[in-house]
Structure 1
Amino acid sequence: MNNSEKIIGILPCSGACNVGIMTTKATVKACEAHKNVNFVCALGLPLGIPGIIENAKKSDAYLALNGCEIRCATKALESVGIKPDDEIVVSEKCDMKKNKNFSDETGLDVLMEEVENFIRKWSQNFYAS
């Protein structure tokens, strides 16, 4: 990554359910595919852990990946004064019911398409300015 490349922060809710775990899987896939994606730690923000907050604030755009309508990822970002540029609610976007089947990846392809669209959109916005 060169110094002019902008950083896209993705914060998964990582909740203890199928749709929460799917947010983590999608974030990991995005990090593996793009050098400019920053995996933001959801738990460290509202706990006020300085290093995690500092890492989160290094990003230029933010995507909150929420498993369900509770929107924990969005709330975690907002707890340290970061307004997400966009948010995805997996249970709504992928039309999934929240359950305890942690290995269920139904809808992961739809979620990844949405994540890739965000990355593409914000990368184009950065380089157009």
Structure 2
Amino acid sequence: MMSIGILPCQGSSNTGMMTNKVTLNKVDGKEFKTVCALGLPLGIEGIIKNAKSNEGFVALNGCPIKCASKALLSVGIDDFKEITVTDLGIQKNGNMKDETGIEKLSDKLDEVVESLRKIQ
């Protein structure tokens, strides 16, 4: 079984919060593990080591700024799949409790994970 690290952006918008919620629903500590969005660019050795122990990665970006992708790139992880919530037609707004479109994001994550499994 492939170990997949999922990095949610966790940004301060509805789309950022959705990346975190979808990740929490997927992470099981075995096949799916969360990667710390802050620990990577801050250079925290243990977090980087844990992140790099995964065999596949998904960056869940809330918006076109793509902070999750940039965090992975900051530690030399450049072989990853990327999802940007706003690319799915979900509007970014200031209401962090707005989960409109979260099912679409969850379905997209499932699709990307399945594509990673096929590569294995």
Larger Rg: 1
| Selected match of 2:83 from 78, 88, 92 | 88
Residue 75 of structure 2 corresponds to residue 117 of structure 1: no
User: Pairwise mapping of residues 16-31 of structure 1 onto structure 2 (< 5 A)?
Assistant: 16-31=12-27
- For 1:50, the aligned partner's letter is E
TM-score (norm 1): 0.88
TM-score (norm 2): 0.94
Structure 2: state its 5+ residue gaps. none
Query: Which aligned runs of 4 or more in structure 1 are off by greater than 6 angstroms?
Result: none
Structure 1: state its 5+ residue gaps. none
- Give 1:55 shift: 0.8
Residue 23 of structure 2 corresponds to residue 56 of structure 1: no
Q: Distance in 2 between matches of 1:49 and 1:85?
A: 20
Count of residue correspondences = 120
Q: Report SS of the residue matched to 2:27.
A: helix
RMSD: 1.3
- Give 1:84 shift: 4.1
Q: Distance in 2 between matches of 1:121 and 1:91?
A: 21
The residue that corresponds to 1:104 in the other structure is 98
